[in-house]
């Protein structure tokens, strides 16, 4: 089926839109940032209206750059920041509270209570996830508890819950569709990844009525049609949805068991495709649903790193070490190494493989000779060090050797990071020509749903390489990694658990 595909990637700090043709070539791109809100220490919120406004701007820019009319689009796909939780009124489509972002830690006390009650093992077995505030379930429980009249309205069916994809889908269709896909459902801590259904026992413990939950579909297939009065001025099928990291895995053509990618964004997310069987982790990773052949479901091991690119943003905004994030790569390359400085960016706790919400950031090794270039270099090296922490756990849990790593995301444009990552892992790191692999994955899923592409084999044929970085032998690499692990020890358990929520 001919026609262009529009893909929307609703990320943590901005929205990207791509227009892709049937050869996988990007015809046009649009991007728009939106505000972040930090109302209390450890809290992170978004106004969903900001997502919508940023999406409209990005779509208009992408279509304009591609010189494509909405009426000629074959389909639309959505990728999204995953664990962010939204609760909205079904009639007005307006949120009843700001969205609680995946980075938010306000539900750490609730997670601690669940742990003390013995829920950790059951949640791990059924959902594949660790018990952590990162995931959506405890965020939804908090909203139902703290928003006036929310629980009663939810039980009566007047409110709807979703992750970002569900909310955008609802607004795109004028309220006609309330759905999500399996990859996003698997990030809620409410979904049984083996039975492929919501888990009634976990829902009951958290006091979450089933009436508030979206329907769950495969990642490729028709979710609904755009309402012309709300979006595009045309009826376009929305035929692909996936969480951003699973979409990136798909966009990187990691369709076989063992294929692995890392997306270097606000955080970093290492995913290894483990095929049609879930691999249980004993090393601090999570088991999640991925997009399998032709958009069906597969499984993956994932290491979620909370802060990577956000550390560079903090150096820019918090310490004013940088005038712009684009300065980071050249400044880091101006020194041969970090000068013995190690930066553990546990600014919102530590994710995989440590899962410590009370960890705090540390910078060690500072001397009179330390410059801002060393500090920036340490922040960039921290991205690679955290990735190795995850990869070491992944190699152990999956029992599959890592032969290469595919890299994408904004920070992957820095050659200094890619080369250091290859040296540190001892395997080639391959960077694709199209960096927006998250949006590209959403485009492929939507296109498969509407017959733009016939199979994942055809999709794989469109993957193009920009550059491969090969590992160099350097005895200082392992010594540096040992010093990194010592720095991590200082970050862990820095703060005491809070007594109340």
The pLDDT tens digits for 129-144 are 989 898 999 999 999 9
The mean per-residue pLDDT over the stretch 395-412 comes to 88
Structural domains of the chain in order of their starting residue, each with its CATH number: 1-494 (3.30.420.40)
Residue 498 pLDDT > 80: no
Q: Are 238 and 384 in contact (CB under 8 A)?
A: no
Q: Nearest 5°: CA angle at 86, between 85 and 92?
A: 170
> CA–CA separation, 36 vs 47, rounded Å?
8
CB burial class (10 A; 0-12, 13-18, 19+) of residue 196? middle
The pLDDT tens digits for 329-363 are 999 999 999 999 999 999 988 888 988 888 999 99
Q: Pairing between strand 86-89 and 99-100? A: unpaired
Q: What are phi and psi of 57, to 5 degrees?
A: -60, -45
CB burial class (10 A; 0-12, 13-18, 19+) of residue 35? exposed
What the block records as the tokens of 202 is: 């976990």
What percent of the chain has a predicted confidence (pLDDT) above 90?
A: 80
What the block records as the tokens of 248 is: 């990136």
The pLDDT tens digits for 212-249 are 999 999 999 999 999 999 999 999 999 999 999 999 99
Q: What is the structure's pLDDT at 496?
A: 62
Q: What is the structure's pLDDT at 69?
A: 93
Q: What is the structure's pLDDT at 2?
A: 61
The pLDDT tens digits for 181-210 are 999 999 999 999 999 999 999 999 999 999
What percent of the chain has a predicted confidence (pLDDT) above 70?
A: 98
Per-chain mean pLDDT for the chain? 93
> CA–CA separation, 261 vs 253, rounded Å?
10
Q: Are 87 and 96 in contact (CB under 8 A)?
A: yes
In the three-class reduction of DSSP (H, G, I as helix; E, B as strand; rest coil), residue 189 is classed as: coil
Residues, the chain: 501
Give the predicted TM-score (pTM) of the model: 0.87
Angle at which helices 372-398 and 309-317 pack, to 10 degrees?
A: 160
> CA–CA separation, 410 vs 244, rounded Å?
14
Residue 316 pLDDT > 60: yes
Q: What is the structure's pLDDT at 283?
A: 82
Contacts of 491 (CB under 8 A, 6+ apart): 344, 346, 350, 359, 360, 361, 362
The mean per-residue pLDDT over the stretch 354-375 comes to 93
Q: What is the structure's pLDDT at 501?
A: 44
The pLDDT tens digits for 80-133 are 999 999 999 999 999 999 999 998 999 999 999 999 999 999 999 999 998 989
Q: What is the structure's pLDDT at 494?
A: 76
Lowest mean pLDDT among 76-80, 256-260, 397-401: 397-401
353 upstream amide cis, omega within 30 of 0 = yes
Q: What is the structure's pLDDT at 446?
A: 96
Residue 495 pLDDT > 70: no
Q: What is the structure's pLDDT at 499?
A: 45
**DSSP state for residue 499 in the 8-state scheme:** S
The mean per-residue pLDDT over the stretch 23-44 comes to 93
Binned at pLDDT 50, 70 and 90, residue 474 comes out as: confident
Long-range own/partner contacts, residues 66-69 (CB < 8 A, 24 or more apart): 66/4, 66/19, 66/27, 66/28, 67/27, 67/28, 68/4, 68/19, 68/27, 68/28
């Amino acid at each position: 089926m001919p026609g262009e595909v529009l893909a929307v990637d609703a990320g943590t700090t901005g929205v990207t839109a791509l227009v892709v043709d049937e050869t996988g070539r990007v015809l046009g791109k649009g991007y728009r940032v939106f505000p972040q809100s930090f109302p209390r220490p450890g809290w992170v919120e978004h106004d969903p209206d900001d997502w919508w406004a940023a999406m409209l701007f990005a779509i208009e820019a992408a279509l304009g750059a591609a010189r494509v009319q909405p009426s000629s689009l074959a389909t639309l796909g959505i990728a999204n920041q995953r664990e962010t939780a939204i609760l909205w009124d079904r009639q007005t489509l307006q949120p009843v509270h700001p969205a609680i972002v995946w980075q938010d830690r306000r539900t750490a006390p609730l997670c601690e209570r669940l742990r003390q009650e013995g829920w950790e093992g059951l949640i791990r077995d059924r959902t594949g996830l660790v018990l952590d505030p990162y995931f959506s379930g405890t965020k939804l429980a908090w909203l139902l508890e703290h928003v006036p009249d929310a629980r009663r309205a939810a039980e009566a069916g007047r409110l709807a819950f979703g992750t970002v994809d569900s909310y955008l889908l609802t607004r795109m269709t004028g309220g006609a569709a309330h759905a999500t896909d399996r990859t996003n459902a698997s990030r809620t801590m409410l979904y049984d990844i083996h039975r492929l259904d919501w888990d009634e026992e976990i829902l009951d413990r958290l006091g979450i009525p089933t009436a508030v939950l979206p329907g769950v579909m495969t990642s490729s297939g028709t979710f609904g049609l755009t309402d012309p009065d709300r979006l595009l001025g045309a009826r376009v099928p929305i035929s692909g949805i996936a969480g951003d990291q699973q979409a990136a895995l798909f966009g990187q053509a990691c369709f076989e068991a063992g294929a692995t990618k890392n997306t270097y964004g606000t955080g970093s997310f290492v995913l290894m495709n483990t095929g049609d069987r879930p691999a249980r982790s004993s090393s601090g990773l999570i088991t999640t649903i991925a997009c399998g052949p032709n958009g069906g479901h597969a499984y993956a091991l994932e290491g979620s790193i909370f802060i990577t690119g956000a550390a560079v943003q903090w150096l820019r905004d918090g310490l004013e070490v940088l005038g712009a994030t684009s300065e980071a790569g050249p400044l880091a390359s101006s020194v041969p190494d970090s000068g013995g400085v190690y930066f553990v960016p546990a600014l919102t706790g530590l994710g995989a493989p440590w899962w410590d919400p009370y960890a705090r950031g540390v910078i060690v090794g500072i001397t009179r000779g330390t410059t801002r270039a060393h500090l920036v270099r340490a922040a960039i090296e921290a991205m690679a060090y955290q990735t190795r922490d995850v990869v070491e756990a992944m190699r152990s849990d999956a029992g599959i050797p890592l032969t290469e790593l595919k890299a994408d995301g904004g920070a992957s444009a820095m050659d200094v990071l890619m080369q250091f990552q290859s040296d540190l892992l001892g395997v080639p790191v391959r960077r694709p020509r199209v960096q927006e692999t998250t949006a590209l994955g959403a485009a492929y899923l939507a296109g498969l749903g509407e017959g733009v592409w016939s199979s994942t084999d055809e999709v794989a044929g469109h993957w193009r390489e920009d550059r491969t970085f090969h590992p160099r032998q350097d005895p200082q690499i392992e010594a540096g990694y040992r010093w990194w692990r010592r720095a991590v020890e200082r970050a862990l358990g820095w703060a005491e658990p809070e007594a109340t929520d």
